[in-house]
Amino acid sequence: MGMALIDSIIRGFDPEPVSASGYRAKSGSLNVGGEAVNEAVASAKLGHKTGIICALGQDAAGDMVLARLRECGVDTSFVLRSEEHPTPVTTMFVRDDGTRKSITNLSHRYNFHPENYASQFTRARALILGSLFRAPFDEPDGIASVVREASSGGTLIFADTKLPNFAKIKLEDIAEALPYVDYITPNEDEAKFFSGKEEPEEMADVFLSYGAKNVVIKLGAKGCFFKNKETKIVLPAFSIDPVDATGAGDCFVAGLAGEILSGADIKDALIFASGCGAICTTAVGAGTALSSHAQVEEFIRQVS
């Protein structure tokens, strides 16, 4: 549940102009993206029955997103289409090492109020919020309503995070919602921002103090850190040559959720999730390289 958009990905941007208004780059491509879309597509590819609740404009970008979701086997029954709001497009500048910067615009502010569609998600075994602090999860009351409704039906709640862009909400603003969250999965920069701490364990402790049950901090090339009240795990990353990190965190979350639902213990689930994220970075675009559960298992066998 969450944002659906198109990523315009520019790799190898050369800042030296070739004319008064012209620049060059190694490549440019249009890719379906948005945290909810990336997580839904990855979950479906991993073999799970997956649906999505998101909003799209009645435009070519929205058509492109919808076609990709259906191609990957995601149930799109609850996708909302609007004449009023265009499908967001994000411009991504990807460096040669796979890291990236993005440019959003006002269309990313559209909040479709997912709390109004509780009947469509309370039957799910798991709900992934992609992502807290960005629309549609940038209004504290709406966030609290969604997680309360989902939790009341026994749904396991995974909350990915993003740094806020338009609505500047903080961790304390969603304090009411956090005790309903089973797994929260910020990356290192997000965890630093929201916790005010520098070390992964200290960051995790802040999220735990607000009531989140399990904290996974994604550390990129350094791996990941897990902590709950009983356990902490430090897991190194797989050694790979990244091409584009777009969507790697989303694939990680999808892998984590699927393995936990399948009964894996937390360490094995984290290893599998890390494999999903690593595979994602080996091609341009969110989730382009990820294809199946068996692919991830084979990747882990080969690189372990």
Instruction: Please write the tens of the pLDDT for every residue from 211-224.
Output: 999 999 999 999 99
What's the whole-number average pLDDT of the chain? 94
pLDDT at 139: 93
- Enclosing domain of residue 294: 34-42+106-303
pTM: 0.92
The answer to whether position 191 is within a domain reads yes
State how many domains the chain has: 1
> Is residue 111 pLDDT above 80, yes or no?
no
> What is the reported pLDDT for 300?
97
pLDDT of residue 248: 93
Residue 71: pLDDT above 90? yes
Q: Please compute the mean of the pLDDT values over residues 222-250 and round it to a whole number.
A: 94
Indicate whether 69 belongs to any domain.
Answer: no
The verdict on residue 84 lying in a domain is no
- pLDDT by residue (tens digit) across 146-205? 999 999 989 999 999 999 988 889 999 999 999 999 999 999 999 999 999 999 999 999
- Integer Cα distance of 48 and 159 in angstroms: 18
CATH of the domain at 229: 3.40.1190.20
- Indicate whether 141 belongs to any domain: yes
pLDDT in the model for residue 41 = 97
